[in-house]
Amino acid sequence: MNFRRRLTIKKDAWMEGLPGTLPRSVPAGPSKPPRLTGGLKVSSPPEAEIQREVEAYCEARGIYYVRVPDALYRWIYGAGNSVPVWVRCLISRYIKGVPDMVLLKPMGNGQGCFALPLELKRAGGKLSPEQVKTQEAIGTKVAHSTAEAIAMIRDFEELRAT
């Protein structure tokens, strides 16, 4: 085995071991529709699915957004990881309570931008104490479904258009 081949094998093994990377057998893309769970109750989609759908909507509409990747959270808080405690404390100090997405649109006069801090939760999901503090401080909007989030984004677009 030559050096280049050994390097490739090590790189692939390293990439698969990263928190937040999907196993090769997991297809990317939209997940299954909600299914009935005994009786008439319909299960709500997971937060990650709502996140993907809202991101796709924003990209289709040309809305710029920023967010903290889920892989970073898994890297910091994942079980059995080797992140030193002082690094976890330092990073969590700055990212706890940060909304899932912050949507940005320029004002048009070159003087700044409009922002919509948006927290996405599955149906029945509750805010953490840090998220409540952030919501009170910066007016984070909370959406419990894709449709609710898209309605908030449309209101945001109308507001910025005036």
| Domain range annotation of the chain | 45-161
How far from the centroid of its chain's Cα atoms is residue 44's Cα?
A: 17
Residue 91 carries which side chain, given as an amino acid letter? I
Please give the torsion angle defined by the CA atoms of residues 98, 112, 116 and 102, in that order, rounded to the nearest 10 degrees: -40
pLDDT at site 21: 43
Q: What is the DSSP letter of 74?
A: H
pLDDT at site 22: 42
pLDDT at site 24: 43
Q: What is the mean pLDDT of the chain?
A: 76
pLDDT at site 17: 44
CA distance 155 to 142: 14
For range 44-72, the mean pLDDT: 89
For range 137-144, the mean pLDDT: 94
The CATH number of domain 45-161 is 3.40.50.300: no
pLDDT at site 9: 39
Q: Could you report how far apart the first and last alpha carbons of the chain are, in Å?
A: 65
Does the pLDDT value for residue 41 go beyond 80? Answer: no
Of 65, 75, 57, 60, the residue nearest 21 (C-alpha)? 75
User: What pTM does this model have?
Assistant: 0.66
Does the pLDDT value for residue 36 go beyond 90? Answer: no
The 8 Å CB, 24+ separation contacts for 21-25 are 21/71
| 136-152 burial code (b ≥16 CB/10 A, e <16) | eeeebbbbbbbebbbeb
Instruction: Collect all residues with Cβ–Cβ distance below 8 Å to 127 and sequence separation of at least 6.
Output: 119, 121, 135, 142
pLDDT at site 146: 94
pLDDT digits (tens, 9 = 90+) for 71-120: 887 777 776 667 888 888 888 888 888 999 999 988 777 788 889 999 99
For range 116-135, the mean pLDDT: 92
pLDDT at site 8: 38
